[in-house]
Structure 1
Amino acid sequence: MEAVNRAVEGCERKPLSEVVGDCVQRWFQDAFKEARRGDTAMMVLVSQMYHSGYGVPKNEHKGRVWMERASRFRSSAWKVAMKRPGYNASDSDSDEADDDANQ
């Protein structure tokens, strides 16, 4: 236990917001690599991240381009175009049922 405490003392502590920011950027980079390889789900995720500015500077044009690519393989992609990153088409379908019930 003392060895762990000494190891932690030698490390520079970073604010949590900085750590989370680094993680989000790495998530975008990983998703972008997979999207470029043709993974449709990652194309949707990259589009959502560009649209919202999550892990990357906000760029609605690039978000739209990635969503167009994804929609060539998955027509339901447009249902989640304006949703937060990670929101799936199946999630969107259940929201539509809730919206219909509320009207």
Structure 2
Amino acid sequence: MESSCSGTDKSSNYSSSSNENPRVPLSDVVAECVKRWFKDTLKEAKSGDINMQVLVAQMYYSGYGVARDTQKGRLWMTRASRTRSSVWKVSDKRPGYNASDSDSDELKGES
């Protein structure tokens, strides 16, 4: 079985012989995937993708895939808000909750 986040060879192949490929705890595999997700997201955010800038900010605010750093979260949210001011509404939301989700919630309330 191959890990869907197989950037490292530690979990690339399980076999019946534990001496060939020792099993890696699932929590370690997931933690590695989350760290990689942050790195990939950061790369896209640096290239100017506003949605990824918001996601990086949320990840910094919550410490998801990276050490918690509210100052860096604020910097990324500020960068994204230059194009879309509504991003501040989701700064305290879980990673992945985006400004368009928030905007559609507001529209429902106005109907």
Once the two structures are TM-superposed, the CA of residue 8 in structure 1 deviates from its matched residue by 1.8
1:62 — aligned with what? 72
- Tell me which residue corresponds to 1:44: 54
Q: 2:29 aligns with which of 19, 22, 25?
A: 19
Q: Which residue of 1 aligns with 2:38?
A: 28
With normalisation by structure 2, the TM-score equals 0.76
What amino acid is aligned across from residue 85 of structure 1 in structure 2?
A: P
Aligned to 1:85: 95
- Report SS of the residue matched to 2:53: helix
Stretches of 4+ aligned residues off by more than 6 angstroms? none
The CA deviation at 1:41 is: 0.6
3-state DSSP of counterpart to 2:23: coil
TM-score with structure 1 length normalisation?
A: 0.82
**Percent identity over the alignment?**
62
1:11-63 deviations in Å (ceiling 9; x for gaps): 22111111000000000000001111111111000000000000000000000
Helix, strand or coil for the counterpart of 2:92?
Answer: coil
* Greater relative contact order (CA < 8 Å, ≥ 6 in sequence): 1
- The residue identity in structure 2 corresponding to 1:33 is K
Which sections of structure 2, spanning at least 5 residues, go unmatched? 1-12
Gaps of 5+ in 1: 1-5
Q: Report the equivalent of 1:3.
A: none
